[in-house]
Amino acid sequence: MKKVSVHALRAMKGAEKIAMLTAYDAQTASFLEAAGIPVILVGDSVGTTQLGYSNTIPVTLDDMIHHTAAVVRGVTSSFVIADLPFMTYQLSVEQALASSGRLLQETGCDAVKLEGGAFRAPTVRALVDNGIPVCAHIGLTPQSVKAIGLRVQGRGAEAADRLFADALALEEAGAFAIVLEGIPAPLAARITAALKIPTIGIGAGPDCDGQVLVVSDLLGLGGAYNPKFAKRYAEIGAAITAAAAAYKSDVLSGAFPDADHSYLE
């Protein structure tokens, strides 16, 4: 498969739905690419899915560099986007440039993603002007969990109009795509219809130009946690537990290793 580019993603709007998934390691990324997933997001969700944090706030730039570099090593054609973690771009445009530069230089990823609405447009413009592709993210923004919680955003006319204006401002600033998270489906449809760049939905209904899911939600690796917008396509977590239990039983009984799994000479 040919390497996916920013231009290819933009051309998919209105022509082909975009399927995006998260990954945090080379092996998982290679499986996703083999399935034909064109875009892999190395989300700061690594904090909650891999590092044991209760939210994304503790994730560092070094964490993101470590996991993004692993994902990049696992693919050849998929487009890899890396999240800018909390407080690595909010202080100034200069900080955002430095953090984004490290992500691109030290990992080989294709783009960065940052959270925030129209107030973030100057940062997006500065990054794009310096050759750094940017995916924006509005609606439910997990890095703002302390301020807004994990609840649907954009309910009511005033809030909806504000998010609509955010999307237009981010497009004007040069973002090549916008993630719409946790917003009413009619609002996501309205934004998608108004923009020339793709929208990627997560908990934003069926009318976005693409969809993204956290891979642990897709595979049933999140235990009892199962957000409304996430569809489970497998129960790998249960399979891992069953396999580990069977292994333990064989070890305790002496059934493993047997002759077939031993060197006899």
Return the sign of the alpha-carbon dihedral for residues 26, 28, 34, 40. Answer: negative
Beta bridge partners of 79: 39
181 is catalytic: yes
Which of the residues 33, 115, 171, 181 is marked catalytic? 181
Tokens of 257: 């290793």
Q: 135 near 109, Cβ under 8 Å?
A: no
For residue 204, what are the CA distances in angstroms to 3, 29, 179, 191, 212?
28, 25, 9, 11, 10
DSSP states along the chain: -PPP-HHHHHHHTTTS-EEEEE--SHHHHHHHHHTT--EEEE-TTHHHHTS--SSSTT--HHHHHHHHHHHHHT-SSSEEEEEPPTTSSSS-HHHHHHHHHHHHHHH--SEEEEE-SGGGHHHHHHHHHTT--EEEEEES-GGGHHHH-SS----SHHHHHHHHHHHHHHHHHT-SEEEEES--HHHHHHHHHH-SS-EEEESS-TTSSEEEE-HHHHHT-STT---TTPPP---HHHHHHHHHHHHHHHHHHT-SS-GGGS---
Query: Catalytic residues, which ones?
Result: 181
